[in-house]
Amino acid sequence: MKDIFDKISASMGPLGRYADESKGYYMFPKLEGPIGNRMVFNGRERLIWSLNNYLGLANHPEVMAADADAAARFGMAYPMGARMMSGNSVYHEQLERDLADFIGTEDTILLNFGYQGVLSAIDALVDRHDIIVYDAESHACIIDGVRLHMGKRFVYTHNNIDNLEVQLQRATKLAEQTGGGIMVITEGVFGMSGSQGKLKEIVALKQKFNFRLFVDDAHGFGTMGATGAGTGEEQCCMDGIDVYFSTFAKSMAGIGAFIGADKNVVKYLRYNMRSQIFAKSLPMPMTIGAIKRLELLRTRPELKNNLWNIVNSLQNGLRDAGFNIGVTTTPVTPVLLNGTIPEATQLTRELREDFDIFCSIVVYPVVPKGVIMLRLIPTAVHTQADVDHTIKAFTVIKDKLASGAYPRDEFAAMNA
Ligand SMILES: Cc1ncc(COP(=O)(O)O)c(C=O)c1O
């Protein structure tokens, strides 16, 4: 009989296989110093484009003061236990009311973490008779939620409304047999490509099909819409979103998440989401800190304006310099190059060592073989000088890549 650990000695998994070469540099790098556009990596200050600190709240003095005050008053332990049992507080309830007022849903429920929250909400909302129809490029937390589902699921081609319609026809037929309902799941902003989910068109399909819509707007909350209330606001279809999710880990620069929905749905989630019933509630600094972050997000439009000035300047500058940045209509800025994994590792190193630019690099299997994606996340605390320097440096590495200057086979095995 095999030992369960035998497979670990055979393989560390698709990412773990690079562990020895990449630990501390490409994977698990340490970014040190105050969170911002410049941080220390490997002992030197670099320009950082890889943090989802969209509005620059992570290091905002009022946020830091709110976090510190709450920690001094309550420590990190209070309140103890799950919300339902012993872990509730007036601050948790206030934050839920503030969030509902802001996004315009009847109520909201706080979640300890976004990932488990999405998974657990999907689990609570569907039963074995129901059918899930979801976008093919959905975040891992949606995929894992779908994995938990005991009924049928249909996946539609990313953002392809015709294909969604086909899947809804199949789902409708099946639901008539099982006696269940249909839940469509998409993201508001897709975190890799920066494309927006076609929420308005999906909502319009409600005229033809009977389904509920679940939107994960992790990257849209705070960045999209006139007030920052997210991609539903941006596309003027918030009313058609039945379950609105966002995390606090991006624009809100914290930990935790929430779901907004009609009162009855939120009430049901409070009593049926296993990730909330069986886990400790958010500690006070996260809760009181989130109240402060939300206040700033709502009342300081200059933060979102700064963000979008940098987004526009970076994206227009890259396009003008001949870069392919795909189909983004949001702050997420992918720069798509053609090359092998050895070339990608080499040019990333050069960006870091010669130009002091730190950004995330995405390669196969997340993007197709032969594509290198450098993913930039502009924030409210970047400057025009940061943008100019980056476009210059990217132009140098793009030209070098095109001329074949980077070794294509240095780590040929890594590309196998
Ligand atoms: C689209 C999306 N959903 C959910 C999550 C998970 O949120 P959290 O970090 O709060 O667990 C993330 C990433 O953080 C995300 O990008």
The per-residue pLDDT for range 291-309, each reduced to its tens digit, is 999 999 999 999 999 999 9
Looking at residue 412, its pLDDT comes to: 46
Please state which CATH class domain 61-299 belongs to: alpha beta
Distance, CA of 188 to CA of 231 (rounded, Å): 5
Please give the C-alpha separations between residue 163 and each of 120, 135, 156, 363, 368, in angstroms, as whole numbers: 27, 10, 6, 27, 21
Which residues lie with the beta carbon below 6 Å from any ligand 1 atom? 113-115, 118, 139, 141, 187, 191, 216, 218, 247, 249, 257
**pLDDT one digit per residue (tens) for the chain, 416 residues:** 999 999 998 898 878 888 887 888 988 999 999 999 999 999 999 999 999 999 999 999 999 999 999 999 999 999 999 999 999 999 999 999 999 999 999 999 999 999 999 999 999 999 999 999 999 999 999 999 999 999 999 999 999 999 999 999 999 999 999 999 999 999 999 999 999 999 999 999 999 999 999 999 999 999 999 999 999 999 999 999 999 999 999 999 999 999 999 999 999 999 999 999 999 999 999 999 999 999 999 999 999 999 999 999 999 999 999 999 999 999 999 999 999 988 998 999 999 999 999 999 998 888 888 999 999 999 999 999 999 999 999 999 999 999 999 888 654 434 43
Domain residue extents for the chain: 6-54+301-415, 61-299
Share of the chain above pLDDT 70, in %: 98
Pick from 113, 89, 106: nearest CA to 266 = 106
Distance, CA of 87 to CA of 160 (rounded, Å): 43
Distance, CA of 402 to CA of 285 (rounded, Å): 49
Under DSSP, the state recorded for 381 is: T
Looking at residue 364, its pLDDT comes to: 84
Q: Give the pLDDT confidence of 112-136 residue by residue, as tens digits.
A: 999 999 999 999 999 999 999 999 9
Whole-prediction pTM: 0.96
Q: Is-contact 243 201, C-beta < 8 A?
A: no
Question: Which positions ≥6 away from 361 have C-beta within 8 Å?
Answer: 26, 344, 345, 348, 372, 373, 374, 375
171 C-alpha to ligand 1 centroid (Å):
27
DSSP character string of 338-377 = E--HHHHHHHHHHHHHHH-EE-EEE-TTTS-TTEEEEEE-
Indicate which residue's Cα is closest to atom 14 of ligand 1.
Answer: 249
Looking at residue 13, its pLDDT comes to: 85
275 C-alpha to ligand 1 centroid (Å):
15
Indicate which residue's Cα is closest to atom 3 of ligand 1.
Answer: 218
Under DSSP, the state recorded for 240 is: G
Indicate which residue's Cα is closest to atom 10 of ligand 1.
Answer: 114
Looking at residue 413, its pLDDT comes to: 39
Assess if CATH 1.10.10.2840 describes domain 6-54+301-415. no
Looking at residue 416, its pLDDT comes to: 36
6-54+301-415 and 61-299 have identical folds:
no
Please identify, by atom number, the ligand 1 atom nearest to the C-alpha of residue 116: 11
